[in-house]
Structure 1
């Protein structure tokens, strides 16, 4: 049996590794395509890109691992069935559960490892990725000049060039507006020159030839007193300080998102949010009653108030003058509007806190549900491969994508209901597993009993009596219709 176990493990590990890297590559390309606008034109070095790719890959493992497991299990058992190796093992008296035993043990190890990945590695990668993306977003675009178009990427300065030689990078017909100093505005015109960023990207190095400088000196009374000076130069060098063009890393890596926390941190976050909700409700009730409803009794304790008695408000208003009645209505309307604004603010803050709580609870349940979903996908894929008996990347990919799309749609729907507060976090996250688990048990049972559930001839044979009965009924109906038509003639 050890030889059989080694043979099955060897047949499974190869497709598992291959499909995992293929799935991760596809998901990573999708991630980079979604963020391509934030990365292009920033002049990022290869080290920064590789680091971002590594962090993004770690965050995509919870999505890629179940799909890779499903695809690899279908491919492995399909190849064994297509090459009649599975049939030979069964003929030797080895049942399908015994054939799958080493794979089940291997998948248990993978499930335990996936828990530590999603609980420890994925939150760490999320924190690093968010911090890195924030630093990238702060970096300015590269300085690229276009002929005849002003470049305004430098604060308080505008640069226009007539033409740029792509081989020598020589610029001609240069115009620079310098508004860095309000009291000393400059306009520089040059026939040619060179403009580049220093190696440390902290300065703009400008070298100009054959030009003129128009400088306007003005004080706070520039509309009465201002001076305009004119200078000619054969060669002029400028050193302009820059900020934001060099990639700078921020020191902090903290993020309050639930995706960046492990189960222990999520548990603490959930308890804190629940306590915050309770305090918000208590404080809202106290302030609304004491500060808005019983406004004139704000200094008294609510428990010390006397029992309320019924008063005829209409009778009291009838005894008032028109001016006094308008004043009462105006004051009451203002107090009611103030209470409404306060209620809207508190309800919005309560809604925001509830969304954070639902998201944290969903992420907590997701860390537990991932290992089970991987095992469920294996129990779906292995029997399917044994039943279909088709290897390669054709039929397994089609079947895998169908099951994964169903799983993904159910999961996304459940998470949406959880975030909206319609479902509990447990049911919203586990509903996909509860739906797919009976399918896995059914397929395992059918494959163990060698049931041909995908064989059209088997279904045709079972439906043959019904088809024959239907044909007889149709022939009798036609004969009855012809007989009735003949009698009418």
Structure 2
């Protein structure tokens, strides 16, 4: 039995690493493409990119670990069913219950790993990621305008240039609209100008020549002619769209979440200082329960996948994979609905966030009992019978 458990555990682990790395890589690449557009133009090396990848990984690992855990256990037992290994083990006197230690231990380890990410790794990774972005923006980013395009990378600022020389930084026929100040709007029009980056002063300097400034305050419009006019843009402002410095429960440490949840005076202080609004404070309770419930989904979904894989031993494997993906969709849909209901206070967050785990745990234990008795639930049997004519056709 030790050899059997060891081989099953090794297969779980190898599939987990493969599935988790593939999913994480795809998500990180997509995220980095979005950041590249936001950061205008970068001079980042391979180690800088890997550094950002490493810091951003905990955010997605919290969600991907239950998926990878369930798929690895499901595919292992699906293969064993298809290759008749489970049949041979049962013929030798072993029951499905005796094969559970390996997936249960593996699911428990995934739960502990995900729990550590949720309690400590997530907030650390987000903070380090944002600090790195600020550092790169201040030291390695250059403003790279596109000809004939309205560039809006800086919040409240729109820059348009008909012709741009990326090598020299010279620009022709420039239009700039500044709405950073709510009391008035400033528009600059100039036939020529230049763009330079000053890393020491942490700013981008845009110089306009022989143009006009239109400043509108209410119904009043002031026009000013100039020979040379410079605009200095702090590099740190480019990352304001990421919410840098703002309160977000999903990015807080677990300790900070507990502190806010248990201190009404602190909640009122955050609202008064505009560091948070009432809706975000309600999300704190939901986030606390989610950090605890989501890691446990590794064990619950892993246990659920064992009998489901055994049911499909006589059918094509692609149906089992589709079913597994459908289970993920149902679980995370229920979790999302529970989050929304908890934030709106329609149901207590403790009940809503933990409900998907309880439903899948109960269903998994029921399916497991049926699988040990080599019986297929009537509802699942009806679905499989509906699939048979289509596959035969």
TM (norm. structure 2) is: 0.70
Output aligned runs, 1:269-308, within 5 Å: 269-273=260-264
Whether 2:264 is the aligned partner of 1:263: answer no
**Displacement, 1:60?**
0.9
Alpha-carbon spacing, 1:384–1:127, altered in 2? closer, same or farther (3 Å): same
Whether 2:311 is the aligned partner of 1:387: answer yes
Corresponding residue number in structure 2 for 1:82: 82
Corresponding residue number in structure 2 for 1:302: none
Corresponding residue number in structure 1 for 2:375: 451
Whether 2:294 is the aligned partner of 1:370: answer yes
Structure 2: 5+ residue runs without aligned partners?
A: 176-189, 213-225, 387-393
Alpha-carbon spacing, 1:58–1:16, altered in 2? closer, same or farther (3 Å): same
Corresponding residue number in structure 2 for 1:143: 144
Name the SS for the 1:445 alignment partner.
Answer: helix
**Displacement, 1:275?**
7.1
User: Structure 1 stretch 133-142 or stretch 370-379: which is displaced more?
Assistant: 133-142
Alpha-carbon spacing, 1:90–1:267, altered in 2? closer, same or farther (3 Å): same
Alpha-carbon spacing, 1:408–1:31, altered in 2? closer, same or farther (3 Å): farther
**Displacement, 1:84?**
1.1
User: How far apart, CA to CA, are the structure 1 residues paired with 2:126 and 2:170?
Assistant: 47
User: How far apart, CA to CA, are the structure 2 residues paired with 1:392 and 1:29?
Assistant: 33
Contact in 2 for aligned 1:390/1:396 (Cα 8 Å): no
Per-residue displacement from partner, 1:301-324 (whole Å, max 9, x unpaired)? xxxxxxxxxxxxxxxxxxxxxxxx
Whether 2:333 is the aligned partner of 1:409: answer yes
User: Structure 1 stretch 385-394 or stretch 425-434: which is displaced more?
Assistant: 385-394
Alpha-carbon spacing, 1:134–1:359, altered in 2? closer, same or farther (3 Å): farther
User: How far apart, CA to CA, are the structure 1 residues paired with 2:238 and 2:383?
Assistant: 67
Corresponding residue number in structure 1 for 2:182: none
Per-residue displacement from partner, 1:426-473 (whole Å, max 9, x unpaired)? 01211111221211111111221122445569979xxxxxxxxxxxxx
Output aligned runs, 1:32-47, within 5 Å: 32=32, 37-39=37-39, 41-43=40-42, 45-46=44-45, 47=47
User: Structure 1 stretch 61-70 or stretch 262-271: which is displaced more?
Assistant: 262-271
Over the aligned positions, Cα root-mean-square deviation in angstroms equals: 5.0
For the pair shown, which has the larger CA radius of gyration, 1 or 2? 1
How many residues are paired up? 350
Contact in 1 for aligned 2:19/2:68 (Cα 8 Å): yes
Structure 1: 5+ residue runs without aligned partners?
A: 178-186, 207-212, 217-227, 230-237, 281-344, 461-489
Contact in 2 for aligned 1:71/1:396 (Cα 8 Å): no
Alpha-carbon spacing, 1:451–1:27, altered in 2? closer, same or farther (3 Å): farther
Name the SS for the 2:291 alignment partner.
Answer: helix
Alpha-carbon spacing, 1:141–1:401, altered in 2? closer, same or farther (3 Å): farther
Contact in 2 for aligned 1:126/1:259 (Cα 8 Å): no
TM (norm. structure 1) is: 0.57
Output aligned runs, 1:179-328, within 5 Å: 197=196, 243-244=233-234, 256-273=247-264
User: How far apart, CA to CA, are the structure 1 residues paired with 2:174 and 2:97?
Assistant: 78
Contact in 2 for aligned 1:145/1:151 (Cα 8 Å): yes
**Displacement, 1:95?**
1.2
Alpha-carbon spacing, 1:427–1:86, altered in 2? closer, same or farther (3 Å): same
User: How far apart, CA to CA, are the structure 2 residues paired with 1:274 and 1:410?
Assistant: 33
**Displacement, 1:56?**
2.5
Name the SS for the 2:100 alignment partner.
Answer: helix
User: How far apart, CA to CA, are the structure 1 residues paired with 2:360 and 2:75?
Assistant: 20
Whether 2:7 is the aligned partner of 1:7: answer yes
**Displacement, 1:371?**
2.8
**Displacement, 1:15?**
1.4
Alpha-carbon spacing, 1:431–1:249, altered in 2? closer, same or farther (3 Å): closer
User: How far apart, CA to CA, are the structure 2 residues paired with 1:400 and 1:100?
Assistant: 19
